[in-house]
A and B are shown apart, each in its own frame.
Chain A
Amino acid sequence: MTPLAATAEPRGVSLPVAVFNVIRKDLLIEWRGRARINATLFFAVMTLLLFSFAVGPDTTILARNASGYLWLAIMLASVLSLGESFRIENENGALEGLRLIPVDPRAIFLGKAIANFLVLFGLGVLLIPVAIALYGAKLDAGVGWALLVLLLGCGAISAPGTLYAAIANQARARDVLLPLLLFPILVPALVGAVKATQLVLQGDPMGQLSAWITLLVAFNVIYWFLCLVLFGRVVEE
């Protein structure tokens, strides 16, 4: 038996290591619960299909609005994946367990937000070809620009989405509360992502793409910083 006085002083790990551990833990759980990811992907594809049914067979309208349909599908699906990422934390008080180890709340936020981003980005990568096939759109500006816009758009959803999922997780009507809190905040990012994607798909003769990308970068910088600062208060209160 080890007397307490002789035990090594407990020491935490550095912030980057803690962030990496949270990401690894979240992605492992996502992988183990693949049925949930499959359901989210199926939901997003169904949303894209429903838009095409609702608009009808007019390929011109479908192609013109493809970027809007794509981002609405990603945004609606994000509610499922963000809510799920905190449901697993709530289930047995797992988040409380992390806090009591203790794990730095900044590491929990960054780890979960990056894991959510990776899931959303992966979903977006799968949805772009589906949207192109369904709506007859073309990648006029090339794959690289499309991936950059997707990266910034998913980042813009993930940071506030993780914070608001943590808030909504503490409420009874969490499934309803998350979109009510999140969607109004995401309007500038949605507009920026849709416009930028539209320019990537339909060409950018006026050189507007960089302005929309700047908006998305600014949104990401502001919200990743704000949410990082606020997350500790949310999970400790």
Chain B
Amino acid sequence: MIAARLTQVSRRYGLHWALVRMSAELPSGHSILLTGPNGAGKTTLLRILATALSPTRGSLEIFGLSPKTDLETVRRKVGLVTHKSHLYEDMTAAEALQLLARFDRSVDAKAIPQMLERVGLSSRADSPARTFSAGMRRRLSLARVLLQHPELILLDEPFTQLDPDGVTLVEEVTRELKSRGATLVMSTHDVERGRALCDLHLHLVAGRAEPLMPLNATTPLGSDA
């Protein structure tokens, strides 16, 4: 099954094309390492997959569904962890997760204290987000994703701004999500750590994707060679 299918997807910001006629099929149940130099279009690609951004041209399918016709269903299947924490500064960590539970009935509000414990924020559950460091915000974003059980998880530079414990947490969560059968797409400059967690590799250069490759292989996925 295909988790995400991009067909001739382009995205423009003003005069700059961040993605150029990109086509790719991301198989479900795999974890995909997304690499590329700065400005290659990694974040844009993840935001398009998350439906936070619309492609300027081309089409996108998530688990066979088009965001144009099934936006709500698609969004329930996708989780995004990015440098944007999606937090309200005057709400506490617990309130941020409770707000999620109020809008998504699949989120078990009773599991919130354990989830905060899991991501190492139980002692700061009642602190407003404005007092949180970038790493703590990243942990809270992970808690949101874990509570929502999405099938496609998009991680944009998940290791940045995290302390060693935080990095270990991300690694544990990634392995847990993989064992659940979720599809992961992870953009990171920490290639060695990414290689240890992923089984496929997608490399972007100047808004274009190179063929999807199994990690530690020289031939593209699906190639007969």
Residues of chain A at the chain B interface (Cβ within 8 Å):
1-5, 7-13, 17-18, 21, 25, 28-29, 32-33, 88, 91-94, 96-104, 236-237
Decide if B180 touches A29 in the complex (CB within 8 Å): no
Decide if B90 touches A1 in the complex (CB within 8 Å): no
Decide if A100 touches B176 in the complex (CB within 8 Å): no
**6 new A-B pairs (CB below 8 Å) besides A3-B181, A100-B50?**
A2-B149, A11-B105, A18-B103, A94-B88, A97-B84, A98-B103
- Looking across the interface, which residue of chain A has its beta carbon closest to that of B84? A93
A12→B181 CA distance, assembly (Å): 23
Is the C-beta of B179 less than 8 angstroms from some C-beta in chain A? yes
- Looking across the interface, which residue of chain A has its beta carbon closest to that of B99? A25
A20→B29 CA distance, assembly (Å): 37
- Looking across the interface, which residue of chain B has its beta carbon closest to that of A104? B72
Decide if A10 touches B103 in the complex (CB within 8 Å): no
A104→B72 CA distance, assembly (Å): 8
Decide if A10 touches B54 in the complex (CB within 8 Å): no
A159→B213 CA distance, assembly (Å): 51
Residues of A close to B180: CB separation below 8 A: 1-4
26 example contacts (A-B, Cβ-Cβ < 8 A) are as follows: A1-B180, A4-B180, A4-B181, A4-B182, A7-B149, A10-B104, A13-B104, A21-B99, A21-B103, A28-B95, A32-B90, A32-B128, A92-B87, A92-B89, A92-B129, A93-B85, A97-B86, A98-B86, A100-B52, A100-B80, A100-B86, A101-B100, A102-B72, A102-B76, A104-B72, A237-B54
Count A-B contacts at CB 8 Å.
103
Minimum distance in angstroms from A222 CB to a CB of chain B: 27
Is the C-beta of B71 less than 8 angstroms from some C-beta in chain A? yes
Decide if A10 touches B106 in the complex (CB within 8 Å): yes
Residues of B close to A237: CB separation below 8 A: 54
Minimum distance in angstroms from A102 CB to a CB of chain B: 4
A101→B104 CA distance, assembly (Å): 7
Residues of chain B at the chain A interface (Cβ within 8 Å):
50-52, 54, 71-72, 75-76, 78, 80, 82, 84-91, 95, 99-100, 102-106, 128-129, 137, 148-149, 151, 176, 179-182
Decide if B84 touches A92 in the complex (CB within 8 Å): yes
Known A1-B179, A100-B52, A101-B75; contact A12-B90, beta-carbon cutoff 8 A: no
Residues of B close to A99: CB separation below 8 A: 52, 75
Residues of A close to B85: CB separation below 8 A: 92-93
Decide if B86 touches A12 in the complex (CB within 8 Å): no
**8 shortest interchain CB distances as A-B pairs:** A97-B86, A93-B84, A10-B106, A32-B90, A102-B75, A7-B149, A10-B76, A11-B105
A4→B184 CA distance, assembly (Å): 13
Residues of A close to B148: CB separation below 8 A: 10, 101
Which of A4, A13, A32, A102 lies in contact with B71, CB distance below 8 A? A102
- Looking across the interface, which residue of chain A has its beta carbon closest to that of B141? A97
A55→B112 CA distance, assembly (Å): 58
Which of B75, B88, B90 lies in contact with A100, CB distance below 8 A? B75
Decide if A88 touches B89 in the complex (CB within 8 Å): yes
- Looking across the interface, which residue of chain B has its beta carbon closest to that of A8? B106
Decide if A88 touches B76 in the complex (CB within 8 Å): no
Minimum distance in angstroms from B76 CB to a CB of chain A: 4
Residues of A close to B149: CB separation below 8 A: 2, 4, 7, 10
